[in-house]
Structure 1
Amino acid sequence: MTALRSERTYQARLLRIEEVPARSWLPLLGERDLFLLPGWMEVGPGTYGGGLRDARAALVDRDGTAVAGTAGWLFGRDCTEDLCRPDVLLEIPEPHGAPLFPTLLAGGWYDSRVAHRPGGAGPAELAAVVDSLEEWGRSEGAASVCWPSVDERERDLVALLGERGYRRFPLTPRWALEGPWTGFDDYLARMTSKRRVSVRSERRRVREAGITCRTVPLTRELARPLVELAEENVTRHGGRVDLDRYADWVAALTGIDDGRAEAHLAERDGRILGCVVSSTYAGRVYALFPGFDYEQIAGLPVYFELAYYHLVEHAAAHGYHAVEYGPAADEAKNLRGCVAHRQALWIRGLDPAAERLVAELAAEAAETTTDGTTADNPQAGRST
């Protein structure tokens, strides 16, 4: 336990995830903090990839009241989940990224951030959270600390990480459809007339092919068939999936009380041809991953129908005001009204070998293109 003193009394507590007091933690969470819900932290980002050594939450109190906190997960090199591996995110070929491990993943793999009470966390509180995780990482032999997906809107956190010696590596943006919508016609009315014609055509082709979409609660029984569809999507884009671990992870999502998990299904004659698994929190629908039987949907815009149009209808019907997506498929998302949110990976080495590697990567990334801009690094992993 570390006490940080200024004009007020600050206290940083490092807790096991399962010991986080919900009464203190939940008031810190805003609508972007799905993955910092207690249930989500226990499931953990990427734990289906193995290699998880330990997990902790850093909680900072001011004058006896919790004011800021986040979580960290310690991974070994044997983790097979790309989104938890800084070497994969930074496109470092094997085995050159070995000095980064073990690595401490901070803030969550999606929208990595520090949760705080409304009004923002002060500099001392924010620093206490970051320092507490770093101290824990060092004590556990972590070679590096990585905040894998920091939104550029997190200006205070970005400034602090820069001051602490972290290096910034731009990533492709995440996307979101921002409502609210009174219904699908309301969503459609916000498009150009040309786009409206295109969307109606896509929906008509799907219906004429006998494919319908519906939403059901995610169940353990659905986990395996949906993961098998997801595997098709991942391998199609050059990724990898451990089916057994991934199915166990999806099944575990059904036990999270907050952040309701649902399966959005595209079906024909009772057969599931496509899926999007989502979780909903504070009025935002988070599209976690898609999966499709590409042989059965060849030539049909089922992805657009299920991942965009059906999700908008679902959100409007239940009073949700946004749909969150991951990176990739930028053109498809832009054409369907999504807004891009820029993000970056921030990383620092805790030992000399890791820091040398990070410094070398930063020097290479600083090489600019002919127009004077720095090229963004692509982000690996699954996304909707």
Structure 2
Amino acid sequence: MPADTPLKVRILDTIRDVPAAQWDALVADGAPPFVRHAWLSAMEESGSATEDTGWAPHHLTLWRGRKLVAAAPAYLKFHSMGEYIYDFGWANAAAQLGVEYYPKLLVGGPLSPATVPRFLTAPGEDAALLRRALLQAAVETAQAQDCSGVHVLYPTDEEADFLEEAGLARRITLQFHWKNPGYQRYDDYLARFDSKRRNQLKRERAAAATQGIQLRTVRGADLTQEHAQRAYTFYTSTCERHAWGQVQLTPGFFERVFRDLPDTVEMVEAVKDGKVIAGAFNLATPERLYGRYWGCTEEHPFLHFNVCLYHSVDDCIRSGRKVFEPGAGGEHKVSRGFEPTAVHSAHLIFDKRLDKAVRSFLRMEHARLAPAVEEAERICGLKPWASNPAPGSTGT
């Protein structure tokens, strides 16, 4: 198809309206699974991300004739749950101004607080041109749907720069990621802490053995639908244990993901007396591990840290992965060497009064960010990495 063939915008109310092969041809090799057709389909087909749950699919696509050349997963949102870029205060401010905040158009993925490309473009195409066209389509369809605005969540740094230059308000928030500067073994990671912190981490990790708990990672061909059922059970147990918890994923979501994305799914399991008592459902690429959902049926000291952090840090070192993103939140992660990392979102509110108030809030929020990062870095307290630490440098 000639490059000068006019682009046509199509809005899809289900990911099934585009063949998986065409959609995935836009997804770069090694990209996180959260933008793959199978992941989005699992969300929709399982009833986890649908209009009934407040996530009405509204995917933006660009076509040259019959060829899909660009796309952006998008949803009409009727609440702010499951986004992890918190704008509940903005909704309250909108109500005070007499503005209907919902629906809003969200460009991003359901229940997936991970930085991934949001504007997918075909190889060989003018990516900048297609990004502009997708953004224009987002604004126009949001206005046509009487949305209050457009929100792009967890774009890449490059996309965030583009969106800011296009006039959207940029928001920077923090996650806490473990980063691998070249560790050869787990002791290299421990060597970067002072003696007090290092001994604390050793005690916490050793607790599993003294409790008779064994940890393992199940992946690839070893995964079964029984693991999918466990993942759902552990996920719901955590949601129901906390006042803020809300069960949004269905059993069918886990069944589909374990079946259709076996190359990216990993399950960390804690086994005691032959019984799996805790687990963490993770996703992986060759370079990154993404922590998603965890839960347990028994309570043991430091079980959460071992299942969700320490075991996977060791596994990342063994496999040579560069980054471990354990998800939103982070206070307990900081003292265990997870470093403050900026993540981005971009926002355009159509009501000028509310847009002005949001931009003012973001300026103040950004001013408070630098001291927060400094404090997190102080608590993290990692010493500079030496690629060949001296023998015995891990201390006692």
> Normalised by the shorter chain, which TM-score bucket?
0.7 to 0.9
The answer as to 2:168 corresponding to 1:166 is yes
Q: Retained in 2: the 8 A contact 1:171–1:344?
A: yes
How far apart are the structure 1 equivalents of 2:93 and 2:250? 24
Deviates more, 1:68-77 or 1:276-285: 68-77
The residue type paired with residue 367 of structure 2 is T
Partner secondary structure for residue 82 of structure 1: coil
Where does residue 198 of structure 2 map in the other structure?
A: 196
Summarize the alignment of residues 39-188 of structure 1 with structure 2, pairs less than 5 Å apart.
39-44=38-43, 47=49, 50-59=53-62, 69-77=71-79, 81-83=81-83, 87-88=87-88, 92=92, 99-108=100-109, 109-110=112-113, 111=115, 113-116=118-121, 122-151=127-156, 154-155=157-158, 157-178=159-180, 181-188=183-190
Distance 1:169 1:312 in 2: 29
Contact 2:75 2:105 in 1 (8 A): yes
Percentage identity across aligned positions?
A: 20
Letter in 2 for 1:40: W
Distance 1:222 1:310 in 2: 18
- Aligned partners of 2:295, 2:364: CA distance in 1, in Å? 37
**Offset of residue 107 of structure 1:** 3.0
Q: Distance in 2 between matches of 1:278 and 1:89?
A: 31
2:174 is paired with a residue whose SS is strand
Q: Report the counterpart of residue 259 of structure 2 in structure 1.
A: 255
Show the counterpart of 1:34: 33
Matching residue of 1:373: 367
Normalised to the residue count of structure 1, the TM-score between the two structures is: 0.74
Partners of 1:258 and 1:89 in 2: CA distance: 39
Q: 1:291-306 alignment to 2 at 5 Å?
A: 291-293=295-297, 296-297=299-300, 300-306=301-307
Summarize the alignment of residues 262-281 of structure 1 with structure 2, pairs less than 5 Å apart.
262-281=266-285
Deviations 1:322-380 (A, max 9, x none): 322222124x3333333332123322234x4xx54343333344447xxx92459x9xx
Consecutive unaligned residues in structure 1, runs of 5 or more: 379-384
Instruction: Give the number of the structure whose residues are more often strand, by fraction.
Output: 1
**DSSP 3-state at the match of 2:329:** coil
The one-character-per-residue Cα deviations of 1:12-61 (angstroms, maximum 9, x if unpaired) are 65364231563574354254442111112223496178123223143477
Structure 1 residues 258 and 138: CA distance shift in structure 2, 3 A: farther
Residue deviations 1:156-182, cap 9 Å, x none? Answer: x22332344422333232524336654
Cα 1:238–1:335 change in 2 (3 A) is same
Counterpart in 2 of 1:381?
Answer: none
Verify the 8 A CA contact 1:26 1:37 in the aligned structure 2.
no
Query: By how many angstroms is 1:106 displaced?
Result: 0.4
Contact 2:215 2:270 in 1 (8 A): yes
RMSD across aligned positions (CA): 4.0
Q: Given that residues 100 and 349 in structure 1 are in contact (C-alpha distance below 8 angstroms), is that contact kept between their aligned partners in structure 2?
A: no
Distance of aligned partners of 1:276 and 1:39 in 2 relative to their CA distance in 1, 3 Å threshold: same
Q: How does 1:210-221 map to 2 (within 5 A)?
A: 210-217=212-219, 219-221=224-226
Unaligned segments of structure 2, at least 5 residues: 373-396
Q: How many residues align?
A: 355
SS across alignment from 2:209? helix
Q: CA deviation at 1:311?
A: 1.0
Cα 1:23–1:91, aligned 2, differ >3 Å: closer, same or farther?
Answer: closer
**Partner in structure 1 of residue 247 of structure 2:** 242
How far apart in 1 are the matches of 2:225 and 2:74?
A: 27
Cα deviation per residue 1:225-268 (whole Å; 9 max; x = unaligned)? 4444334534555422237x443333332233365222211222
TM-score, length of structure 2 as denominator length: 0.73
Once residues 161 and 29 of structure 1 are traced to their aligned partners in structure 2, the CA distance between those partners, rounded to angstroms, is 21
SS of the equivalent of 2:316 reads: helix
Q: Identify the residue that residue 21 of structure 2 maps to in structure 1.
A: 22
